[in-house]
A and B are shown apart, each in its own frame.
Chain A
Amino acid sequence: MGLIGGGVLLATSPWFSAFSEQKNTIGSIARIGVIGPGSRGQHLMSFLVKNPKVKIVALCDTYQPSLDKALELAPEAKVYNDYRRLLEDKNVDAVLIATPLDKHYEMVMDAFDAGKHVFCEKSIAYSLDETHRIYQKYLVSNRVFFVGQQRLFDPRYIKAVEMVHSGMFGEISGLRTFWHRNNDWRRPVPSPELDEQINWRLYKAHSKGIMTELACHQLQLGTWATRRIPEKVMGHGAITYWKEKREVYDNVSCIYIYDNGVKMNYDSVLSNKFYGLEEQILCSKGTIEPEKGKYYFEEIPPAPAFLQLINDCENAMFDTLPFAGTSWAAETANKNEGHYLMDKRPEGDGTSLMLEAFAEAVITRKQPELIAEEGYYATALSLLGHQAMEEEKMLIFPDEYKLNYLNHKAVRI
């Protein structure tokens, strides 16, 4: 297992518990059914089939081309067209749900009722109420519940958060998160009547667009790094560029405000990809960019005195010449190139490790710490941000949806 083998995951990380019994589970098999093996589902399956502790025993989809492709990955899996029949299958220990967002609620609830362990792709559900009900169901189910927040298992992110928590960068002063793309997010469809089924992310009835499909990942990092939940959110969303047959925003901006005044910004523009995606953790003594895998200290150690002397001599000799302009030498000496979080860029983004952790949890029947809660708040914050944009209001995190987690206390209404 790369993460532990590479010595990256420190013992202080709660996610260490996910692999604590790894040796004891050798020879055991987690029998998994995949509900919704579309493009994302197949991507997840590509990792599962490589894990000797996993057997994909069942598949369920209503779209035959997806099933056909999924069967190439798991040819022995039993095929269902109704997820309820799959849930009745006694050979299935756990389900992986990678269906459109609006289908999550009933599928996850039914899966817990059927006694299955659940891996649900983010976001958890279409509304705050559904998300909360799912979490409450998980609490009484005595089953494992994972949400597809793979950053929790990405070595770069783990290292970054460990460093932030160690205090080496001082206090967190702000977070800037963004995910920019330059495409309409639309996939080709074999016939127009299938557009809503295949391009469900673009339709309000099935998705909350950017917030539930992209922002969810980055807002989770805010909770993880600050160990706080934002209290308020405001924002604005619009369709500015991709106007054809799109119901969800292609241009959003939200500000999440923590109780100590620190803010987390989230921006996404789907018509410019220059800056790509990143989460910038801005601290009093430094900045971390986990996606880039780098960190930067505010105070740069001065260049060696001898180089400073050479630079100053150069400046004194050439600065007054009209053609020389500003000397490049001094800027070069002070340029902050930053440092890499890890010596080597990890091969994956944590998805593989997340699925390994899920298989371990299914076998041991032990829920790793915080994963469900981090997933819950990632979904809750993205839904709340979307609601703030829809209503064009600043919203306060509703008491009735608070859990006993970090700075929140569950309130009985």
Chain B
Amino acid sequence: MKDILITGVRIKKELITLSVCFLIGFVANIGAIIFYQTVYTEVITSLGYILIFTFVLYFIWSLLRILTWFIGRCLHAGASALSRHDEWHD
């Protein structure tokens, strides 16, 4: 079986992505508190919801990245095949 290698750069990148998701949730919560005029203690008491939101957002973002990677790979494979076909005819 092939070992999967997760590089330090990759871990750092994923942690930054997760932090950005958390930050989006955190800022959205503050915005919502102001907009709906609720109490500021919700900055702390809603942290559980923010964490759930963070992972949901991270999951959606990851899906999008996988999809982009998959499409990119398909396009790349198509381009390579076309290139080989041209070489053979040359």
Contacts and interface: CB of A to CB of B under 8 A. Distances in A.
A238 interface: no
A309 B38 CA distance: 12
Main secondary structure of the interface of A (DSSP, over half): helix
- Taking residues whose C-beta sits less than 8 angstroms from the other chain, chain B's interface range is 10 to 19
A307 interface: yes
A302 interface: yes
B18 interface: no
A308 interface: yes
B28 A304 contact: no
Interface stretch (B9-17, B42-50, B74-82): B42-50
Interface in A294-311: 302, 304-310
Contact of A305 (B25, B38, B53): B38
The residue in A305, A306, A310 that gathers the most chain B C-beta atoms within 10 A of its C-beta is A306
- Taking residues whose C-beta sits less than 8 angstroms from the other chain, chain A's interface range is under 10
A302 B42 CA distance: 12
Interface in B36-63: 36, 38, 42, 45-46, 49-50, 53
Contacts of B28: 306, 309
A309 B37 CA distance: 12
Contacts of A310: 53
A314 to B, nearest CB: 13
B35 interface: yes
24 contacts: A302-B38, A304-B42, A304-B45, A304-B46, A304-B49, A305-B32, A305-B35, A305-B36, A305-B38, A305-B42, A305-B46, A306-B25, A306-B33, A306-B46, A306-B50, A306-B53, A308-B32, A308-B36, A308-B38, A309-B31, A309-B32, A309-B35, A309-B36, A310-B53
Interface of B: 25, 28-29, 31-33, 35-36, 38, 42, 45-46, 49-50, 53
Interface of A: 302, 304-310
Given A302-B38, A305-B36, A307-B46, 15 more contacts: A304-B45, A305-B29, A305-B32, A305-B33, A305-B35, A305-B46, A306-B32, A306-B42, A306-B46, A306-B49, A307-B49, A308-B32, A309-B29, A309-B32, A310-B53
